[in-house]
Amino acid sequence: MLRLARPRIRCRRLYSSVAASDIEHFKSILPPHAILTTLSPSTLPSSEIDTYNNDWMGKYHGCATTVLKPKTTQQVSDIVRWCASREIPIVPQGGNTGLVGGSVPLQDELVLSLASMNSVRSFDAVSGILVADAGCILQSLTDYVAPHNHIMPVDLGAKGSCHIGGNVATNAGGLRLLRYGSLHGSVLGLEVVLPDGTILDQLTSLRKDNTGYDLKQLFIGAEGTLGIITAVSILTPPSPQASNNVILALPHFDNVLPLYRTVKRQLSEILSAFEFIDRTAYDLAVKHGQGRALSDDDVDGAACFVLVETSGGRREHDEEKLNDLLTTLLDAETPLITTGVLSQNPAQFSSLWALREGVTEAVSKEGKAYKYDISIPLASFKDVVDATRDRLRSKGLLGEHAVKHVLGYGHVGDGNLHLNIVAAAYTQEIQDTLEPFVYELVASYRGSISAEHGIGAMKTHALHYSKNQVSIEWMKKIKALFDPKGIMNPGKPIFQDANGFSIKFFIQKNLPEEVQAELCETVTALGGRVETKVPRQGYILVQNGTAEESRLRLCWTSAERPDRYFVPYTYVEACKIAGMLLKQIFIENGAPITMHIHPSIANPNARSALSQRIMHSGGDPNATAQSARVILADPNTDVFQHLIKTYQGEPDKYIESYLWVKKCVERGSVLYTPLVYKNPGGRRPGEDRTQFTEDDEGNLANWIATKIPYKETGGRTGNRLYQQLCDMKEDPQFAWVSRHTWQSWRERYKKNATRLDGLIALIVDQKKPAQGEKGQYGYVRQPEEKPKKRKRKSKNKEVSYLDDEFIVGSSKMEGMGMGMFQGTAPLPLQALGEMEVQLPGAIPQLPGIVFEGTPAGPSMTTIPDARPAEEEDDGSEWAVRVGNSPPPAWGKRRASADPESMTGVKRPRPNGPFTSPEAEPMPSTSNDMHVVDQAIRQIAAEFRFTVEEVQAHYDRCGEMGLTRARFEAMRALLVDKFPDDV
């Protein structure tokens, strides 16, 4: 999109953002369903308008809060008139299929979607003139005119999504330009809403009208910067009665131009397309399943390929001309081609086009593509591709780790080359290597940096490579004439502040003259101004590591000038590539934040790119590990955790991932990650354990109070709840989460639920609405019932305890071996509730257990149960661990128990040393259980498995349906295998 800044007639004020009062006004123009907004009191989530804020390539991201979807031209006019009075910027949007970020907001502009304006107003089958709303999808219009034996003059790969209004606004080219020309010739008239709300009706259906200026041409290719196209009158050509195509293999690129001359001469009026594909593009299309037009023998030795299409009035005539062409080419004394394949039916015709159109999809599957849509002389196609490849090779960037392929394909008939650089990932180093190199290369051929994609947000800074200063100044004057307030699809020069004033730069004087000249040119082109004296506010461009840089810093660093920044002179190019003024965020008290790039980041290119990004954002990446405030390391190495542990007790010292720098830059501020040594969970001998702190519990309570403020205790113990908590640990605001695993966070709450619930209640009480008052998510708080207390009656019974010498985890017990526990029946739930269990190193008392071969003797004692008559079940859980082994089966607290375990009756086991007397079952207490516990108990009883087994599987999968299906299948399998025993 051509987002030109207005001439500085007056100081530009800040644009207005959409406010709640504006929404109320828009409701008088549009029905409620045509207004999408995230502004209060609306509860629409921002994800609902993400598709309007992000471009198709995923490169540009806006933050618009409101999308309007008018259905009539009058509604568009009313909206624009209101926005003009309020100075609210507008971004018109069609199918949003552009490749240069021209149809998405750059900030919080109002998005005006024309998708609802999708009616065909009229069609004249005699003249072929179609009048349609701007929101009509190109494929829909193609289908509409097809029964009338007409076709659309433009054909694009995105025809299933793009709108005709967007096609005209960007002057889209496509595959049929060779035959039917550009939209400047096909469009007969337009209906446009101007920036002040005036409707400009030039929707003529006349093919000849020589009465003054042809104003419609100003809006074709203007990308919505002069007005909003609401309807189009376009000439549709008759459908060809016969279409054929042929793919040709060429041994050398030098044969392409002679072949093009021969094809034009012999096919003349029926030639409709002449598409070029180099060998790399062809191989990728075949590799990723886009079709195989030629056999392996036919493509052997081919350097490139050409797809030729004909569209004529009689099939026999066209096929005869094509056959004559192939005979001429193959029988030549020095053949221009090695072989060719002619389509014989519609399926083969579509297959050959699929090969050409599938290159784009194949490139996206192969890696991350840097795309350049350029116009250059036909003879230069291969030279540009080769020069780009050589440039990357000279920088050491060719290879699987960086740039995998450099390829070219495009429309030979109109001189449009699509240069694609396919890389493993987008990196700043590759970007710096390609730009401005590619643009300068195009300029050397007097070509265009944009053949058909437009300027958009991507190429605004590079416009001067294709247009001279006089042309640019007159475009600015036209923009100022139509849009004096600058609200139509606005763009802002990078080096201008919010008030439209140029940002000032000072260049280190002893830099090479050619470097200074290039810096001056770039700064000026981006809206800035180069000063001969050091500015009070602005940027001093220096060469790091030089004596002059040290002198400048010594003389001009001042606490009274906090807005004077020292940056490397590469900062200018970095801002141009980023499309924005890079903030100086790595600065504290006027001094750069010192950083050290640890050797664990082994890739030298990554280290260099990281260093540049830090310097461009105000930091100093050259400090030693001891003096640096921040140490950047690779989090995927063991040394990362070692560094955290080493510096954990040192104040103002931070260990960060190399990704932290990117996150800070994107956020526009610095947020340190707390120094914590992560407890990995299930630790091995010798590993440290991270203890829970008051801050941990405070953070947990605050999070629960925000996440589920009014749920009961039972609703705060789900696995997924804590898994969601740990999923946010990458956000620096949730860095505290990484101190523990999700299981540890859950257990911390469960073991301290009573105390933590009190803390959560205090937090909620400060934030919650009053009863009956509407809350932030639209709910109305209702009175809550108090949870029922689960009572136990004490029984004056005696419990046996083991001698102190049998300590779990002690050397004596280890000497006895684990065989002593085999065959031991599960402990009764009532007995488990009486145990007092301590952490490793303590002496747990195990009631009611008699080990095989261990007679009861003087060491056994009995004491009465001393519990109070009533107590509330605190739901605490515990586990007994023998050494470093997992807890035995009897050492796990049941979430719920089956009838046998609740009564204390031990089930007889084959060959086991114990038998248990029969006992009366305890009445069910399922009404007091959590719904999950009830379901687990039901599955265990229904399919005759222990509750522990069902609980363990549910904890792993988290799905009750899957748990039931598993145990049902297991019971069926046991019945089938052991019908007599099960």
Q: What's the whole-number mean pLDDT along residues 318-333? A: 87
**How far is C-alpha 850 from the geometric centre of its chain's CA atoms?**
60
Highest mean pLDDT among 95-99, 229-233, 320-324, 702-706: 229-233
The Cα–Cα gap between 927 and 467 comes to: 79
The Cα–Cα gap between 448 and 376 comes to: 7
The residues, any chain, with a CB within 8 Å of residue 70's CB and separated by 6 or more, are 29, 30, 34, 76, 79, 112, 114, 116, 117
The residues, any chain, with a CB within 8 Å of residue 700's CB and separated by 6 or more, are 745, 748, 749, 756
Question: What DSSP designation does 61 have?
Answer: B
The answer to whether the beta carbons of residues 530 and 519 sit under 8 Å apart is: yes
Q: Is the pLDDT of residue 972 over 70?
A: yes
Three-state secondary structure readout of 802-854? CCCCCCCCCHHHHHHCHHHHCCCCCCCHHHHHHCCCCCCCCCCCCCCCCCCCC
Q: How many CB atoms lie within 10 A of CB 684?
A: 7
Give pLDDT, residue 804: 39
User: In the structure encoding, which two tokens stand for residue 745, read together?
Assistant: 């966070």
Q: What's the whole-number mean pLDDT along residues 585-606? A: 89
Verdict on whether the full-model pTM lies above 0.75? no
The residues, any chain, with a CB within 8 Å of residue 912's CB and separated by 6 or more, are 823, 825
User: In the structure encoding, which two tokens stand for residue 660, read together?
Assistant: 């932290």
Q: What's the whole-number mean pLDDT along residues 40-63? A: 83
E strands present in 256-402: 271-278, 304-312, 339-342, 368-375
Identify the residue whose tokens are 């094809």.
263
Give pLDDT, residue 928: 52
| Percent helix / strand / coil, the chain, rounded to 5 | 40, 15, 45
Q: Is the pLDDT of residue 815 over 80?
A: no
Residues, the chain: 982
627 vs 294, residue with greater confidence: 627
Give pLDDT, residue 794: 45
Give pLDDT, residue 167: 92
**How far is C-alpha 956 from the geometric centre of its chain's CA atoms?**
29
Q: Is the pLDDT of residue 934 over 60?
A: yes
Amino acid at 786: K
The Cα–Cα gap between 324 and 306 comes to: 17
Among 198, 46, 201, 53, smallest CA distance to 113 is for 53
Which pLDDT tens digit goes with each residue over 467-480? 888 888 888 889 88
Place 796 in a pLDDT band, splitting at 50, 70 and 90. Answer: very low
User: In the structure encoding, which two tokens stand for residue 771, read together?
Assistant: 């009863």
Give pLDDT, residue 597: 94
Average predicted confidence (pLDDT) for the chain: 78
The answer to whether the beta carbons of residues 407 and 281 sit under 8 Å apart is: yes
Q: Is the pLDDT of residue 875 over 50?
A: no
Place 86 in a pLDDT band, splitting at 50, 70 and 90. Answer: very high
The Cα–Cα gap between 289 and 287 comes to: 6
Give pLDDT, residue 19: 92
The answer to whether the beta carbons of residues 227 and 219 sit under 8 Å apart is: yes
The Cα–Cα gap between 802 and 847 comes to: 7
Which pLDDT tens digit goes with each residue over 10-49? 223 347 889 999 999 999 999 999 999 999 888 888 888 9
Question: What DSSP designation does 564 have?
Answer: E
User: In the structure encoding, which two tokens stand for residue 88, read together?
Assistant: 């609210």
The residues, any chain, with a CB within 8 Å of residue 67's CB and separated by 6 or more, are 35, 36, 37, 49, 52, 110, 111, 112, 113
Query: What is the percent of the chain with per-residue pLDDT over 90, rounded to a whole number?
Result: 29
Among 165, 209, 164, smallest CA distance to 188 is for 209
Q: What's the whole-number mean pLDDT along residues 181-209? A: 92
User: What are the angstrom distances between the C-alpha of 653 and each of 404, 647, 650, 660, 695?
Assistant: 40, 7, 6, 15, 19
